[in-house]
Amino acid sequence: MATAYIGLGSNLGDRWATLQAAIRRLRAEPGLRVTKFSSIYESRPVDCPPGSNDFLNAVVEIQTDRTPEALLTFLHAIEAKSGRIRSDLNSPRTLDLDLLLYDSVVRNTPALALPHPRMHERGFVLAPLAEIAPAAVHPVVHKSIRELWSNKADPTIRPHIGPDRMGNRLEGLQALITGSTSGIGAAIATAFQNEGATVITHGRTLRDGRHIAADLSLPEECDRLAEQAWSLAGGFDLLVLNAGADTLTGAAANWTFEQKLDALLAIDVKATMRLARDLGARMKARGRGAIVTIGWDQAETGMEGDSGQLFGAAKAAIMGFTRSLARSLSPEARVNCIAPGWIRTKWGETASSEWQDRVRRETPMGIWGLPEDVAEAAVWLASPNAVYITGQIIRVNGGAIR
């Protein structure tokens, strides 16, 4: 895998949202990993037509299996989908994706110049690049990015503060999200907070703030979590049961089939059901609430191998339980399930090329889903906008139909 740096810029439309969407698109691409990304900076237009808007700029570091030429073609395709029209040099644009560095490759052809021409003279490139790769060396001028930026430092290039809040669909609501210290759970917690909810997070280890540590493989810990969270919030409105056993990475990847099954049944199935029944009954008695569980899109169709059998059994149980619980808690509380497809969590970040190819092959959109995609579905299901939705399985899987 090669290490490359990509510069992002925008000075048309919703610049901040455009850059965020571009970074998400890069993260979703099979065979490509975004390993670092800078803050977003604002700068004056350079060599642009009079009256051009200020630019927002950022830089990402990636690991890729593509050649420089293939990577550049891919970047141009993302630009085109964002509405970029290539006309006059330095004209205003919705999105600019520049291949700045690709390992230490030096190339100068009509189709590709590496390193990117004039990058060592552009403060709006050097500022974000120096933030994430100060020790990287320009392979032509033979100076580090730190040195180049210190010689070019421009006070007019300043960090840009994005919107304080993306919306208010969950304004004033209290939420508990289990398994919310990483991956999909962390993305859901962030999305709920951005939408105005007050969130209690959960994980196995202690953390500061509105966080409760509990080992959900133990029934008594499930009961303690339910009681402590309900008391802390004074009763809450939203419950996302995302906690699950990780049997794909770390030491658990080497467990026997029976050990993995025991862990999945204890956490993914029994803990989810225990918490949902306890807290769902409290919501029903209180007269309001919404619960979201997490299933799996292949639980209904099957997948070969031990992992398919294990997760298929556990997640199919939760999907069936969700439908029945929704009937039990209606009309006071709603219960729905999200069934993710190929979502790029910790395992997906390091999956082999064979699995990367499988994602491309099995997903009509041809890319990984991201935890944020699941989070957006969870926000909608938890919000008043989904008030007539209960007992449903919502697939977040890029259109895969098996």
- Active-site amino acid positions: 84, 93, 96, 98
Strand intervals (E) in 238-357: 238-241, 289-294, 333-340
d(CA 169, CA 390): 18
Find all residues with CB under 8 Å of 103, minimum gap 6, and list them.
2, 3, 4
Residue carrying the six token digits 């050097």: 126
Angle in degrees, CA 391, 396, 402, rounded to 5: 95
What distance in Å separates the CA atoms of residue 126 and residue 143, rounded to the nearest whole number? 12
> Which residue bears the tokens 């006070």?
155
* Full DSSP string of 315-362: HHHHHHHHHHHHHHHTTTEEEEEEEE-SB-SHHHHT--HHHHHHHHHH
Among 223, 173, 372, 400, CA closest to 298: 400
Q: How far is CA 271 from the centre of its chain?
A: 25
